[in-house]
Amino acid sequence: MAQELEVTPIKSPWKAETFKDKEMTPWMPWVVPLESTSTYTAHYKNWGTQRSPSCKPKNERVATAPFNARSTAQDSYLPWDKDGRRESCKPLAKSLGHSKFENSTTHRDAYRPWNVGKQASFKPQQTTLEPHKFVARSTHQDSYVGHDGVEPRRPFLPAETLADKTKFDGISTMNAHYLPWPVQKNGMAPRPVPQLDLGGDPRMPTGTTAHRDAYTELRLPSGCKAALGVQVIPGKFHLMIPKGSSIPTKKSGIFTTTADNQQVIEVVVIAMPDNNGNPDLGVELGHFPLGKILPTRAGVAQVDVTMNLGLDSSIRVTAHNRQNDYQVSMIIRDKFKYLKFER
């Protein structure tokens, strides 16, 4: 049996004095105050609108010259002389000549009517029937004469057989091999597999198969026994892996600096008995620093903290700085495997 490690719970906040000026804060988008002014409002002022003059009749301008209602169209296109008598467009009346009118034309002289003879009728001639009697036979009947000695058709029904006098025993390999498989419960003795009573006959099948022997019972891993997270300012717990999460699991979060020109962040891994439990029962599992942070104002640097919980109850914590692609990792094994909380 493995030796249990003693883990002393640390009161909240966890080592706040030790990690002074190295705390980290969950990263949030930078809030920029809204500036309601723009170049449009600064350059384009409201212009004064000129009041239009009144359109009443008393305000009309007095004409300086009389209005001439004529136009260039009227001056250019003058009306025709109406007094002159127009000539008629009708043809002059002329009398017919004294010669006699001939009603013949070249068309009539060239095309004479043809003398078409009487067309013969297209009707068939009437024929008389043959004097012999009509026989209802054809070449088909004369060519295909029925054969003698044709056997009658036999039925397709199976022939009846006598019943089997052997008694049916009701035992088969299906009944013997596929018996109900008992589902074992944790902490209980395995139940015996029911066996088929074969009467001691060695020739009959047994109740075990290669399929049953190959597949044994497997116990699924339980969920995470504690809530895992990191410490943030001011000594608060930031949850990353909730309690009861299926194993293996992986969670990550984005964090940033707390003070201006901060160049080091201390990543403190904390285990809690519940997701929203008492902060005084939190246990520190480990911590490591992440340096090489460019000095800038607070809240600009972005650090990705990833927590990976494996099947062997090991925790791998990785901190990655996005500014210079620098990262530091830490692995926690036995300290979380044998962790126990005080009640």
Per-residue pLDDT at 8: 40
For residue 25, what is the DSSP state?
E
Residue type, 1: M
| Residues 19, 22, 28, 30, Cα dihedral to 10° | 150
Q: Report the distance separating Cα 311 and Cα 296, nearest Å.
A: 40
Are 268 and 22 a contacting pair, CB within 8 Å? Answer: no
Q: Report the distance separating Cα 308 and Cα 252, nearest Å.
A: 9
Q: Report the distance separating Cα 67 and Cα 63, nearest Å.
A: 8
The three-state secondary structure class of 109 is: helix
Supply angle C-alpha 188, 189, 192, rounded to 5. 130
SS3 content of the chain, % helix, strand, coil (to 5): 10, 20, 70
Smallest CA-to-CA distance from 291 within 320, 271, 332, 314 is with: 320
Per-residue pLDDT at 318: 94
Are 321 and 292 a contacting pair, CB within 8 Å? Answer: yes
For residue 108, what is the DSSP state?
H
Per-residue pLDDT at 77: 73
3-state DSSP of 202-224: CCCCCCCCHHHHHCCCCCCCCCC
Burial label, 332 (beta-carbon count in 10 A; 0-12, 13-18, 19+): buried
Are 260 and 275 a contacting pair, CB within 8 Å? Answer: no
Q: Which mean pLDDT values do the consecutive 10-residue runs of the chain (343 residues) have?
A: 41 54 79 73 70 70 76 73 65 65 70 71 68 72 66 73 67 60 63 60 64 72 84 82 89 90 90 80 87 88 91 91 91 82 65
Per-residue pLDDT at 86: 64
The three-state secondary structure class of 36 is: coil
Q: Report the distance separating Cα 294 and Cα 304, nearest Å.
A: 15
Are 184 and 217 a contacting pair, CB within 8 Å? Answer: yes
Per-residue pLDDT at 329: 93
First-last CA distance in the chain: 24
Per-residue pLDDT at 3: 40
Q: Report the distance separating Cα 309 and Cα 331, nearest Å.
A: 10
Per-residue pLDDT at 128: 66
Per-residue pLDDT at 145: 64
Smallest CA-to-CA distance from 27 within 229, 328, 258, 307 is with: 258
Burial label, 9 (beta-carbon count in 10 A; 0-12, 13-18, 19+): middle
